[in-house]
Amino acid sequence: VPDLTIINKAIIYVRRNEQTHTLRIVHVFTDEEADAPVLTAFREMAALFDSMYPKIRVDFVSVQGEFCPAMIEWLSRSMNVPRNMMFITQPDILSAERVSTAGVRVITA
């Protein structure tokens, strides 16, 4: 289940420190059926934050696959966003270490 407090901190960080008007929350999942409640919660949360922060557009994107450096590269290319402009919350130490080597910044833990 998405943590509203952590996502809110990330949005505040982006608003204060980055020159953008669009923020995409991306959730990588492995099993669509098992993750359906989480995906629904993320969609609802993104809509909530989009209405709370009118100066920044908040979108939600879900991607089926493994959260790894190859996924980061694919997301970067498909969304036309440089990896150094991508941020993650720290899902766990191992995942953060694996993707941080791909140039993604960890901004909340």
The sign of the CA dihedral 56, 16, 86, 76 is positive
| Most trustworthy range by pLDDT among 2-11, 40-49, 77-86 | 40-49
Looking at residues 8-17, what average pLDDT do you find?
Answer: 91
CATH code of domain 4-108: 3.40.50
Q: What is the dihedral of CA 12, 71, 101, 23, to 10 degrees?
A: -10
pTM exceeds 0.75 for this model: yes
In the predicted structure, residue 105 carries a pLDDT above the cut 80: no
Q: Where are the beta strands (DSSP E) in the chain?
A: 22-29, 57-64, 87-89, 105-108
**Is residue 91 very low, low, confident or very high in pLDDT (cuts 50, 70, 90)?**
low
- Range with the poorest average pLDDT among 45-49, 79-83, 99-103: 99-103
Domain ranges in the chain? 4-108
Question: Is the pLDDT higher at 108 or at 30?
Answer: 30
pLDDT of residue 52: 96
